[in-house]
Chains A and B, each alone.
Chain A
Amino acid sequence: MLAAGHACLIVAFAAAIYGIAASLYGAKARRREFVASGRRAVYAMAGATAVAFVLLEVAFVRSDFEYAVVASHSSTTTPLFYRLTAMWSSQEGSLLLWLFSLGLWSSLILFLTRHKLRALAPYATAVLLGFAAFFSGVMLFAESPFTRADRIVAEGAGLNPLLRDPGMMIHPPMLYSGYTLFAVPFAFAIAALITRRLDAEWIRSTRPFTLAAWCALGFGIVLGARWSYHELDWGGYWMWDPVENASLMPWLTATAFLHSVMIQERRGMLRTWNVSLVLGTGVLAILGTFLVRSGVLNSIHAFGASTLGVPFLILLGVMIAGSIYLVASRQEALKSEHRLDSLLSREAIFLLNNFVLVALCFVVFWGTFFPLIAEAFTGRQRNIGPPVYERFIVPLALILVLLAAVGPVIAWRRATAANLKRNLGGPALFGVLVLVVLLASGVSGSVTALIMFTLAGFVVGTVFQEFWRGTRARRAVAKEAVPVALVQLVKRNRRRYGGYLVHVGIIVLFVGVAASSSFKDVRDVALEPGQSANVGGREFTYVKPTSELVAAPNGRLERIVFGADLRVDGVAMHTSKDYFPSQDPTLGPVSRFFEGEATTEVALNASLGKDTWAAVAPDIAKLRPQIEEGDKVFGNAADDLTSDQANEFLAVALQGLTDAYAQDPPPARFRFEVNPLVTWIWIGSLIAVLGGILAGWPARRGMTKIASAKYAARVGKDVRVETETESVPA
């Protein structure tokens, strides 16, 4: 099966190379059959990659240690769920996942646009296949997942316990879906520039994919934050780690694009800016992929150096140079139809929104690459921590929230004072009311958090006002009940109201971040059983220690667990540390359990108000003499015992150790945290993703009718209504 997998990669690579040639020749010679053949090469590449993907997954499931990657990242004791995810815990497997995602989304977009964008499709196909050729080539010539193990072992190294989390099943696939989906608008932007067809059609056709990429990457980022939150030593839900930043940068520029594209569609402005944003997002997506694998930056999530730094740098260089050349040489075709009429206009607010988002991206980029920038200037790497990021990110985020309140309701072209008062007065008052209520409730201590809460009230007020006005106008026309009118309003203008929902979601997320980072309580304490500590108004009591031996599904001893039962304000919680054995044969049979990997299981009691978080660090120093004695005894008796006897006696010895810990425990060290409103971060992100899906959901086919002047007076000038067979009464 190794040969079959390798053959699939060869087919994928060959199909990519052929497809590039066929597409470009078909475009140049105007031979549609070659263009179609190029598109079918994408399907072939996707198909071959899918087969390779399945073959590798089957190898992991079967624990086929003939595969070097399976032997080094999985084991027979790894639960099935994690054997499936172990594939992308490896460099080779994650590259295959990347290519699989690319093949899937490329096939979909090219199938959906096979009768549209005929001038652009061949070039877009060539670009997408270019990415496919790169990734399949890297696997074929550098990091193949189908490499035979030097020697076939009886048991694999196993999946790193830190990666044994349900998040492992979805976080990487979501991130990679986001990255590969961003390749689609990138490819079509390149095609639009090459062919000089820079009207809004390619943007309209690729918008669902841009939105899907934004949703997938955003969701992947939040999943990673959620995972990081309940892992000890990963810095909470965000610590400005280079790998975290690498995923955030393309998301920020994509957010900017999704806003500014509305200006291009409405007023024909910002063409150069928009195409640059799309190209920049594609470059940043590849940059993120590069950062995880290159080892150029210190990261808690980047797993050391690999040999792929140079190929990725070459790819990035080609992408950047090509993009700059195309944009610079197509300036005539990218000229805007209109100019900015007034700084008090929706166009200006959206533009400012873009500047802020790009500024945020720049700050993140600067901070991420600062070690290398500093080395270029001073000869030495220097690093900055979260306080430096936050000094710039926080004020920019506050400006962004303010713009989110103003942007959706300010008039196009030129707003008047009356217009501003009418649209912003109520929401602004609501924001102030929120502030007054918070101050009256005793919330204080963080000025930036209070500003954020006030602005959040402003945004929510704006969104509520828009829903209210739209529903009221619809009721006036269609005489529907409020719920029906609301649903119909949203159905007929998904993009607009989906966008409002996204704003609400992001604001809720920001509120959670502001509250949890400004009003968090953390304490490290050492406690003996029966002792308590007060943290953030909560009483944490160490009830008793726990200990157990855990067997794998095949009956073999998998890990030792030392933990602690806690009671927090009457609620039972449990935290533990799992000790997995090392595979190092030089270690003793007992001590190898304490020299291998260890992972802490955090106790987390989440609520809509405050999260209670606890992690234990058991002190096993007292057990050291017993551990060393155990190694000595087994060492002396090694030749006299059969394998089964050795396992049995080892289990007895370890049981004695765990009983000794439970009966006479030393003080354990704990980290206790009380985090307010963290749950709203996850809720907000879900709302944002749902809003994004709603905004991108395709409307039913039918006539699109621009509201007549008289009708517009009733429902508002900016409402566009899609009608079907009936026309709405004027």
Chain B
Amino acid sequence: MDPSRKRTIRFVVALSAAVLLAGALALTSFSASTEARQPSELVDAAPTPGTKYQLVGKVVAGYKTTGDTTHFRVRDRDGSVSVPVTYAGRLPDPFRADREIVIDVVKQGDVYVGQVGTLITKCPSKFTAEKTST
């Protein structure tokens, strides 16, 4: 076979493999991903019960733990709109009022139920933006 034709074939095969990989990655990502929302966006969007969302926001002071379950509210980073969340799992060590958290939730009734093991609290030291009071 002509060497330049060989090279062209190899190039096309390599490019096709790359395109396939990228396509598979895109398809898998969009189908398996969770939508991230702040509390005000969740409230405005009237979420479908049973659909999972990734809630991002700050913990409002005054949360309570009863047995294994913690009841707390999460508010927008820069606002006051908040939603109630229940979480039946161990709280991460950095979990505190006014800390930013990320948690997967599913709406059940008027409350958002946090999925166990999905609660992440951002570490508060180092590059903090200006402190806001609760």
Chain B residues 1-24 with CB under 8 Å of chain A are 3, 7, 10, 14, 17-18, 21-22, 24
Contact between chains at B125 and A380 (CB < 8 Å): no
Q: Is A301 in the interface zone, CB < 8 Å from B? A: yes
Chain A residues 269-303 with CB under 8 Å of chain B are 292-293, 295, 298-303
Select one of B10, B29, B37, B122 contacting A302, CB under 8 A: B122
Contact between chains at A380 and B37 (CB < 8 Å): yes
Select one of B17, B26, B93 contacting A162, CB under 8 A: B93
Write out the residue numbers on chain B whose beta carbons fall within 8 Å of the beta carbon of A671. Answer: 90
Contact between chains at A367 and B122 (CB < 8 Å): no
Q: Do A303 and B127 contact each other (CB < 8 Å), given the known contacts A359-B21, A387-B32, A388-B28?
A: yes
Question: For residue B123, which residue of chain A has the nearest CB?
Answer: A303
Contact between chains at A300 and B122 (CB < 8 Å): yes
Q: Do A303 and B125 contact each other (CB < 8 Å), given the known contacts A298-B56, A383-B36?
A: yes
Q: Is A416 in the interface zone, CB < 8 Å from B? A: no
Q: How far is the CA of A305 from the CA of B129 in the complex (A)?
A: 6
Q: Do A366 and B127 contact each other (CB < 8 Å), given the known contacts A339-B3, A381-B36, A383-B33?
A: no
Q: How far is the CB of A161 from chain B (nearest CB, A)?
A: 8
Q: Is A163 in the interface zone, CB < 8 Å from B? A: yes
Q: How far is the CA of A300 from the CA of B103 in the complex (A)?
A: 12
Question: For residue B31, which residue of chain A has the nearest CB?
Answer: A388
Contact between chains at A380 and B35 (CB < 8 Å): yes
Write out the residue numbers on chain A whose beta carbons fall within 8 Å of the beta carbon of B91. Answer: 617
Q: How far is the CB of B96 from chain A (nearest CB, A)?
A: 7
Contact between chains at A295 and B127 (CB < 8 Å): yes
Q: How far is the CA of A647 from the CA of B14 in the complex (A)?
A: 72
Q: Do A295 and B28 contact each other (CB < 8 Å), given the known contacts A370-B33, A382-B34, A597-B94?
A: no
Contact between chains at A73 and B56 (CB < 8 Å): no
Question: For residue A396, which residue of chain B has the nearest CB?
Answer: B21
Main secondary structure of the interface of A (DSSP, over half): mixed
Q: How far is the CA of A371 from the CA of B66 in the complex (A)?
A: 34
Q: Do A669 and B68 contact each other (CB < 8 Å), given the known contacts A298-B120, A374-B30?
A: yes
Q: How far is the CB of A501 from chain B (nearest CB, A)?
A: 31
Contact between chains at A621 and B36 (CB < 8 Å): no
Q: How far is the CB of B128 from chain A (nearest CB, A)?
A: 5
Q: How far is the CA of A355 from the CA of B13 in the complex (A)?
A: 12
Contact between chains at B29 and A340 (CB < 8 Å): no
Write out the residue numbers on chain A whose beta carbons fall within 8 Å of the beta carbon of B37. Answer: 380
Write out the residue numbers on chain A whose beta carbons fall within 8 Å of the beta carbon of B56. Answer: 298
Contact between chains at B25 and A303 (CB < 8 Å): no
Q: How far is the CB of B27 from chain A (nearest CB, A)?
A: 11
Select one of A89, A295, A339, A381 contacting B129, CB under 8 A: A295
Write out the residue numbers on chain B whose beta carbons fall within 8 Å of the beta carbon of A722. Answer: none
Write out the residue numbers on chain A whose beta carbons fall within 8 Å of the beta carbon of B66. Answer: 621
Contact between chains at A159 and B125 (CB < 8 Å): yes
Main secondary structure of the interface of B (DSSP, over half): mixed
Q: How far is the CA of A302 from the CA of B90 in the complex (A)?
A: 22
Select one of B17, B28, B65, B128 contacting A391, CB under 8 A: B28
Q: How far is the CB of A53 from chain B (nearest CB, A)?
A: 18
Write out the residue numbers on chain A whose beta carbons fall within 8 Å of the beta carbon of B26. Answer: 366
Contact between chains at A163 and B125 (CB < 8 Å): yes
Q: How far is the CA of A577 from the CA of B89 in the complex (A)?
A: 17
Contact between chains at B21 and A370 (CB < 8 Å): no
Contact between chains at A380 and B93 (CB < 8 Å): no
Contact between chains at B36 and A299 (CB < 8 Å): no
Q: Do A384 and B33 contact each other (CB < 8 Å), given the known contacts A298-B56, A617-B90?
A: yes
Q: Is A111 in the interface zone, CB < 8 Å from B? A: no
Select one of B18, B29, B94 contacting A366, CB under 8 A: B29
Q: How far is the CB of B75 from chain A (nearest CB, A)?
A: 16
Q: Is A304 in the interface zone, CB < 8 Å from B? A: yes
Q: How far is the CB of A203 from chain B (nearest CB, A)?
A: 24
Write out the residue numbers on chain B whose beta carbons fall within 8 Å of the beta carbon of A160. Answer: 123-126
Write out the residue numbers on chain A whose beta carbons fall within 8 Å of the beta carbon of B120. Answer: 233, 298, 300
Q: How far is the CA of A369 from the CA of B52 in the complex (A)?
A: 20
Chain A residues 356-410 with CB under 8 Å of chain B are 359, 362-363, 366-367, 370-371, 374, 380-385, 387-388, 391-392
Select one of A293, A304, A387, A600 contacting B122, CB under 8 A: A304
Chain B residues 81-134 with CB under 8 Å of chain A are 89-94, 96, 100, 102, 120-129
Contact between chains at A300 and B123 (CB < 8 Å): yes
Q: How far is the CA of A91 from the CA of B14 in the complex (A)?
A: 43
Q: Is A254 in the interface zone, CB < 8 Å from B? A: no
Q: How far is the CA of A387 from the CA of B91 in the complex (A)?
A: 23
Greatest chain B CB density within 10 A among A370, A383, A599 is at A383
Contact between chains at A304 and B100 (CB < 8 Å): yes
Contact between chains at A362 and B22 (CB < 8 Å): yes
Q: How far is the CA of A541 from the CA of B120 in the complex (A)?
A: 29
Q: Is A187 in the interface zone, CB < 8 Å from B? A: no
Select one of B14, B54, B94 contacting A233, CB under 8 A: B94
Question: For residue B28, which residue of chain A has the nearest CB?
Answer: A388
Write out the residue numbers on chain B whose beta carbons fall within 8 Å of the beta carbon of A126. Answer: none
Contact between chains at A370 and B29 (CB < 8 Å): yes
Q: How far is the CA of A64 from the CA of B13 in the complex (A)?
A: 63
Write out the residue numbers on chain B whose beta carbons fall within 8 Å of the beta carbon of A339. Answer: 3, 7
Q: How far is the CA of A597 from the CA of B95 in the complex (A)?
A: 9
Contact between chains at B122 and A298 (CB < 8 Å): yes
Q: Is A477 in the interface zone, CB < 8 Å from B? A: no
Contact between chains at B93 and A233 (CB < 8 Å): yes
Q: Is A228 in the interface zone, CB < 8 Å from B? A: no
Q: How far is the CB of B37 from chain A (nearest CB, A)?
A: 7
Q: How far is the CB of B114 from chain A (nearest CB, A)?
A: 14
Write out the residue numbers on chain A whose beta carbons fall within 8 Å of the beta carbon of B128. Answer: 303-304
Q: How far is the CB of A398 from chain B (nearest CB, A)?
A: 15
Q: How far is the CB of A390 from chain B (nearest CB, A)?
A: 11
Select one of A303, A371, A388 contacting B124, CB under 8 A: A303
Write out the residue numbers on chain A whose beta carbons fall within 8 Å of the beta carbon of B96. Answer: 595, 597
Write out the residue numbers on chain B whose beta carbons fall within 8 Å of the beta carbon of A355. Answer: 14, 17-18
Contact between chains at B123 and A388 (CB < 8 Å): no
Q: How far is the CA of A91 from the CA of B123 in the complex (A)?
A: 13
Question: For residue B25, which residue of chain A has the nearest CB?
Answer: A366
Q: How far is the CA of A508 from the CA of B14 in the complex (A)?
A: 30
Question: For residue A358, which residue of chain B has the nearest CB?
Answer: B18
Q: Do A380 and B94 contact each other (CB < 8 Å), given the known contacts A89-B126, A339-B7, A388-B29?
A: no
Contact between chains at B25 and A380 (CB < 8 Å): no
Question: For residue A388, which residue of chain B has the nearest CB?
Answer: B32
Given contacts A160-B123, A524-B89, 14 further A-B contacts (CB under 8 A): A89-B126, A298-B56, A300-B121, A300-B123, A340-B10, A366-B22, A380-B35, A380-B37, A383-B36, A388-B32, A524-B90, A621-B65, A621-B66, A669-B68
Can you give 16 A-B contacts (C-beta < 8 A)?
A91-B126, A162-B93, A292-B127, A301-B123, A304-B122, A304-B128, A305-B127, A355-B14, A362-B25, A366-B26, A382-B30, A392-B25, A597-B93, A598-B94, A617-B91, A669-B90
Report which A residues bind B (CB closer than 8 A).
Answer: 73, 89-91, 94, 159-160, 162-163, 232-233, 292-293, 295, 298-306, 339-340, 343, 355, 359, 362-363, 366-367, 370-371, 374, 380-385, 387-388, 391-392, 524, 526, 577, 595, 597-600, 617, 621, 669, 671
The 7 closest A-B pairs by CB, nearest first: A303-B126, A160-B125, A382-B33, A233-B92, A381-B36, A91-B127, A306-B127
